[in-house]
Structure 1
Amino acid sequence: MERGSSKHAPRVDDQMEQEVSGLVQGPGTGGSRVDEFRVPEPAGEDQPEATTVVGGESRSGTPQGMTSEDVEARSQLGRFITMTALPGDRAALLANARENEAPADLLAELERLPEGTRYQTVSEVWAALGHKNETTRW
């Protein structure tokens, strides 16, 4: 049995490294997509760009019983009330929102919450502020 080296010569190693550097290092290095077949085709004249997002009421993915604006506002509430504040009462929610640098309008809404009530989820807080959550589908 003959045992030979499985290593390449340094010149071959360098050449192989250059061939895959764009794939390994990603698009930020300028070395990717060097081959023509790797360049994505542009959208057609009558086709929207892939990054286009439909906004407003026609946007899909909103839960039943909520508008896309409701979803966005509840999401904002969830960004400033973290899971460490839940379950929590009005004081804990306000402290957490202030710690997370919530905007003044959101803090004013949280000030309206009744004292002495503990909230388990952001959805419960949202409902206590007088907004609708999604309806359950059976």
Structure 2
Amino acid sequence: MERGSSKHGPRLDEQMGKEVSGLVQGPGAAGSRVDESREPEPAGEDQPGATTAPAGDLRTGTPQGMSSGDVEQRSKLGRFISMNALPGDRAALLASARDNEAPDDIVAELERLPEGTRYQTVSEVWSALGHRNETTRW
């Protein structure tokens, strides 16, 4: 069995090194961008844009039973309630929100909570304020 040389010349070594540099160095390294020749071409003027959604079913990431506005507002509420405030009652949630410099609309919402009830999660707080949470999928 005859074997040939597996060595390459310097030019070929350099070219091969550039091709795999993004894989070797990772996404944060210089030169890790995809070669321009590998970028997909944009759709033509009379062509629809490319989508990865099967059968044209575009998904927004909004859970079933909530609108995207609900998700955004619940997330905004959660940003101002510290984890160490839960489980907690109305007073603990208000104190946490004020400590985290919550805007007036968030403080006003939390002031509507009934006294004497302990909440385990932000979703429970959101529900107690009269908003809808996502429905369970089976």
**TM-score category by the smaller chain?**
0.5 to 0.7
Counterpart check, 1:61 vs 2:62: yes
Q: Does 1:41 align with 2:41?
A: yes
The gaps in structure 2 that reach 5 residues or longer are 1-6, 52-58
Mapped partners of 2:39, 2:137: distance in 1: 44
Aligned to 1:110: 110
Q: Which runs of 4+ in 1 moved over 4 A?
A: 16-19
Number of aligned residue pairs: 119
Could you say what secondary structure the match of 1:130 adopts? coil
- Which letter does structure 1 place at the counterpart of 2:84? T
| Aligned residue number for residue 79 of structure 2 | 79
Counterparts of 1:136 and 1:27, CA distance in 2: 38
Normalised to the residue count of structure 1, the TM-score between the two structures is 0.63
Identity of aligned residues (%): 63
Residues 96 and 29 of structure 1: is their aligned pair in 2 closer, same or farther, counting only changes over 3 Å? same
Separation in 2, partners of 1:81, 1:49: 40
Asked whether the equivalents of residues 42 and 49 of structure 2 are also in contact (C-alpha less than 8 Å), the reply is no
Deviation at 1:49, TM superposition (A): 6.8
1:124 is matched with 124
List per-residue Cα deviations over 1:58-106 (Å, max 9, x = no partner).
9563322x33322221122122223222101112111222233322101
Secondary structure, in 3 states, of the residue corresponding to 1:126? Answer: helix
What do you get for the CA RMSD once the two structures are aligned? 3.3
User: For residues 73 and 128 of structure 2, what CA distance do their matches in structure 1 show?
Assistant: 14
**Could you say what secondary structure the match of 2:110 adopts?**
helix
SS in 2 for 1:127: helix
Distance 1:99 1:117 in 2: 21
CA deviation profile, 1:25-44 (whole Å, cap 9, x unmatched) = 547735633462x2232234
**Which residue identity lines up with residue 32 of structure 1 in the other structure?**
R
Q: Indicate whether 1:101 and 2:127 are aligned.
A: no
